[in-house]
Amino acid sequence: MKSNQILFAFLIGLLSNITFAADVTLEVNNVISDRGHIVAALCERGEVFPRKCARVTRESALKSVTKLYFKNVPKGTFAITVFHDENDDGKLNVDASNIPAEGYGFSRDAVGHFGPPKFDDAAVAVIDGNNQFTINLIY
């Protein structure tokens, strides 16, 4: 009997340390054309937000609204960055004044001052199950 209780306590301890995976659906609004791709990055705290994030996905641009998906994301706090790569060169193009020349946006529609927003301004919670976030592109 005592060995069953110890085994049960051990299993409960193991299960309490499991991080369940979640899915994230990202709805990107205000897409001005069908040209190119919409590129999104899901960034964990500690990554170089918004420039170097481990989770990146892209979908063909659909005028008005484009949906993107991240699968098997651990629950936690993330910030999301998105841009409309209209010319498919793999980067957010900027003009001579370093102002984005393609559409871009961040989770919570966060805005920065003379650059991208801080991680905490764009932070969203990913919980178990399905998570949906919306970003409105700025051109």
Q: What is the DSSP string of 101-122?
A: SS-EEEGGG---SSSPPPHHHH
Q: Work out the average pLDDT over 9-27.
A: 66
Burial of 2 (0-12, 13-18, 19+ CB in 10 A): exposed
How high is the pLDDT of residue 18? 55
- Written out in words, the top-level CATH class of the domain with range 19-136 is mainly beta
CA nearest 38: which of 69, 79, 68? 68
- pTM for the whole structure: 0.83
- Residue 20 pLDDT class (50, 70, 90 cuts): low
How high is the pLDDT of residue 66? 98
